[in-house]
Amino acid sequence: MKIDLSNTTKLAFFQDLYRTARNQSEELYEKIEKYVKQYKGDDEIDGSNVKASYVRNITYELIESQVTSYLPNPAVSPEMYSEKNERNAKSIETLLKNKRNKLPFEKLNDIDERFNPVYGGSIWLVEWDNSITTHNTVGDIKLSCLSPKKFTGQPHIYDIKEMEYCFIEFETTKDDIVRRYGVTPAVADETESDENADEDTATLYVCYYKNDKDKVCQYIWSADTQLSDIEDYYARKYQICKHCGKRKEICTCEKPEYELMNEEYEELDRDIALSDGTILPAMCVVVKDGQVVTETQKQQAINPEDGSVMLEDVKGVLLPKMIDVEVPKMEKTKLPFYTPNILPVVIRKNISEEDNLLGQSDCEAIRHQQQGSNKIETRIVEKCIGSGVFPMVPESFNGELDNSLWKKAFRTNQSNAKLFGRVDLQVDISRDIAEADRIYDQAKRILGISDSYQGQYDSSAQSGKAKQIQVNQSAGRLDSKRRMKNAAYAEIDQIIFQYYLAYADEPRPAVYIDEQGKMQNYIFNRYDFIERDDAGEWYYNDEYLFSTDASVDVDKQREVLWQENRANFQQGAYGDPKSLDTLLIFWQNMERTHYPFAHDNVERIKKMIEKQQQILAMQQQIDTLAKDNQNRQEYEQYLLSKLQGGVNNGTK
């Protein structure tokens, strides 16, 4: 994106760009606002000034029935196979699985599961936050799930990867502005907040855009105050003094003025151990145009016959003979810093729709049914309220009449008792109820939701297997939404991986469960991804494929997994069911699917196997001792027989 500042300031340029993009997307945001009201039970009737007196919120019910705690399990594979690439893919996958547990994915998923069907999509922002520190590490991932109302994309571009710029709006405190952007409190006070916010907060507008060099940049402002302007947002930065040219850490100027500079590479001052046991050397061979550069060095001459050092007479003194030898030229290893090249925003779509930044909203799909339900339910309530049983009294009755139920009693005698009566004005609402149910069924069929999927009674499926098939059929119709969720999480995982390549200077520990069910440690080291091409250029290999592992779908019913595991065990898929080793495999699988007390059974069986092994070892020792004893007895008998034979020969 080219920024023309010939007749304006940079702040005014981005303000105008934001207003233009927002205005051209106004129709989208009007729809979004309408869908939110529908989800919350809005009583407005389209095309009418009369509001519904009663709302049966089928939109809320059907959207909530689709909410799932399912988190896609990361899967990583290399684009080109090698042992090193396969090992690195496993380290990425292990790291991402740990992030699923460490980051607040459960809370964000709960928000996302509402945003997505209501708005038609959700916005994920992935950032690297250097303020997140531990004793051994600096910086980590910061993940946010945002409402589409807070996001403004480039007009008429419907893929975030194709956009030249986008805007994100969010609220923060003025104290946080001072800490994060290094401005003075006076500058922070010049910022403005939303109408509904208080004086201590401010509304920030963040623009991510690509410059002429296709580098991602960031510009932040609030009201008429510029807060941050970062060219090449992903590049490592350091501050250098304009006066002395030294870095901020060693500058001694009385009134220094610093400017941000990009840090393009790092020089190794020590050898770095890699995960496979090899070394990334601090000194490397110089390569130019694909050829190793050599230099001449003096070295001792070696006698090729006996390998001894050759000597020469220098003014009567024998000294080692020195000769010129061509050796590879060495230099300090300079590694370029990795720089991500994608916008830090991921859009999860509900259902793909042509020429739409987001997907199709479920609210939009069943809006006609919701409107019809509002009208029918209002009619039913009005009929019920307007109907009733009214008393009949003689003209001479002097008491008070009202529509109270079971609270009035009239005193009369037998002569005029027949003059009292009632008029029943009850109405038939059975057809209205049938129509309301028909509309509700239409809405469910549109979204692909059945009674079995909702866990309700369904007379059409009698057996448990039939119900399971119905649930699977409904899940199949909803599979498109799940695949869009999987695709969004794969994009998030790719950005997280690129951030760790770029900024994780320290090795990051992770844990995984091996095939024996034991916890194992694993280390993610960004230097493992360093490679050198034929031209001598160092680079980070980021050519890995990101997807989700469908075989580890935690959204499946655990009871079904337990049942399948039992069937496999009984059918001998793990080995002899009577064997302790087979029992251990069975309970380890049950432990992975979180079966109650499975861990206790695993530990108990391990102790039984250990005890069994000890008994076998002791029995082997006993058998060995018994055999040795038998051999010794046989040898003694042999010697005794020889001795007795010798004595007998001497006697003769």
Q: Which two tokens stand for residue 573?
A: 């898929």
* Closest alpha carbon to 526 in 493, 494, 501: 501
Looking at the domain assignment, is residue 576 inside a domain? yes
Amino acid at 117: P
- The answer to the question of residue 357 being in a domain is no
In whole angstroms, what is the distance from residue 602 CA to residue 386 CA? 67
Name every residue whose Cβ is closer than 8 Å to that of residue 328 and which is 6 or more positions away in sequence: 285, 286, 292, 293, 294, 295
Q: Is 278 found in the same domain as 256?
A: no
What average pLDDT does the chain have?
Answer: 86
Q: What burial letters (b/e) apply to 295-313, b meaning 16+ CB within 10 Å?
A: eeeeeeeeeeeeeeeeeee
Pair 530, 335: CB distance under 8 Å: yes
Do 608 and 636 lie in one domain? The reply is yes
- Residue 133's pLDDT is 87
190 assigned to some structural domain: no
Question: pTM (2 decimals)?
Answer: 0.79
What percent of the chain lies above the pLDDT cut of 90?
A: 39
Query: 579 lies in a domain?
Result: yes
Same domain, 567 and 646: yes
Mean pLDDT of 605-612: 89
Q: What amino acid occupies position 410? A: F
What's the structural domain count of the chain? Answer: 4
Shared domain for 572 and 644, answered yes or no, is yes
Q: Are 364 and 377 in contact (CB under 8 A)?
A: no
pLDDT for position 402: 66
Q: 573 with 618, same domain?
A: yes
- The residues, ordered by sequence, that sit 6+ positions from 323 with a Cβ below 8 Å of its Cβ are 298, 299, 300, 301
Long-range Cβ pairs for the range 306-315 (8 Å, 24+): none
Percent of the chain with pLDDT over 70: 91
pLDDT at 183: 82
645 and 607 both lie in a single domain: yes
pLDDT of 143 > 70? The answer is: yes
One domain, residues 263 and 326: no
Question: What pLDDT shows up at residue 363?
Answer: 94
Residue 465 has pLDDT above 60, yes or no: no
How does pLDDT run across 615-644, given as a tens digit for each residue? 989 998 898 888 888 888 888 888 888 787
- Is there a contact between 362 and 350 (Cβ–Cβ < 8 Å)? yes
Backbone CA torsion sign across 539, 543, 547, 550? negative
Whether pLDDT at 509 is above 50: yes
Distance CA 221, CA 229 (A): 9
pLDDT tens for each residue of 227-279: 999 989 999 887 888 888 777 777 888 888 888 788 888 999 899 999 888 99
Residue 323 CA to residue 107 CA, distance in Å, equals 71
**CA-to-CA separations, 466 to 5, 91, 453, 472, 473, in angstroms, rounded:** 68, 42, 12, 10, 11
624 and 608 in a common domain: yes
DSSP 160: G
Query: Residue 460: what pLDDT?
Result: 53
- In this prediction, residues 33-37 reach a mean pLDDT of 94
- Do 285 and 254 lie in one domain? The reply is no
Quick check: is 252 in a domain? Answer: yes
Residue 194: the pLDDT is: 66
User: What is the 8-class DSSP label of residue 253?
Assistant: -
Distance CA 138, CA 126 (A): 17
Please give the distance of CA 645 from its chain centroid, rounded to a whole number: 89
Q: Tell me what the mean pLDDT of segment 8-19 comes to.
A: 93
User: How many Å is the Cα radius of gyration of the chain?
Assistant: 39
At 260 the pLDDT is: 77
Name the one residue in this structure whose structure tokens are 């039984």: 608
Flag the least confident range among 226-230, 288-292, 468-472, 530-534: 468-472
Within-domain flag for 303 = yes
- Residues 586 and 639 reside in one and the same domain: yes
Q: Which residue has the higher pLDDT, 554 or 217?
A: 217
Give all strands (DSSP E) within 189-232, no chain letters. Answer: 201-210, 216-222, 225-230
Residue 555 pLDDT > 50 = no
pLDDT at position 333: 92
DSSP string, 332-375: E-EEEPP---S-SEEEEESS--TT-SS---HHHHTHHHHHHHHH
Which pLDDT value is given to residue 647? 61
* Whole-number Å distance between alpha carbons of 456 and 347: 33
| pLDDT at residue 154, as a whole number | 94
Q: What pLDDT score was predicted for residue 554?
A: 46
Do 585 and 635 share a domain, yes or no? Answer: yes
Q: In whole angstroms, how far apart are CA 565 and each of 515, 562, 588?
A: 16, 5, 10
- The phi-psi region of residue 152 (left if phi > 0; otherwise alpha if psi is between -120 and 50; otherwise beta) is beta
Contact 97, 73 (CB under 8 A): yes
Determine the 3-state secondary structure of 204 from DSSP. strand
Element (H, E) at 241: strand 236-241
Give buried/exposed letters for 481-503 (b at 16+ CB in 10 A, else e).
bbebbbbbbbbbbbbbbbbbbbb
For 579, which DSSP code? S
Q: Is 329 within the bounds of a domain?
A: yes
Q: Is 635 within the bounds of a domain?
A: yes
Considering 216, 247, 267, which residue would you say is the last residue of a domain?
267
Are residues 290 and 256 located together in one domain of the fold? no
What is the residue range of 314's domain? 272-335
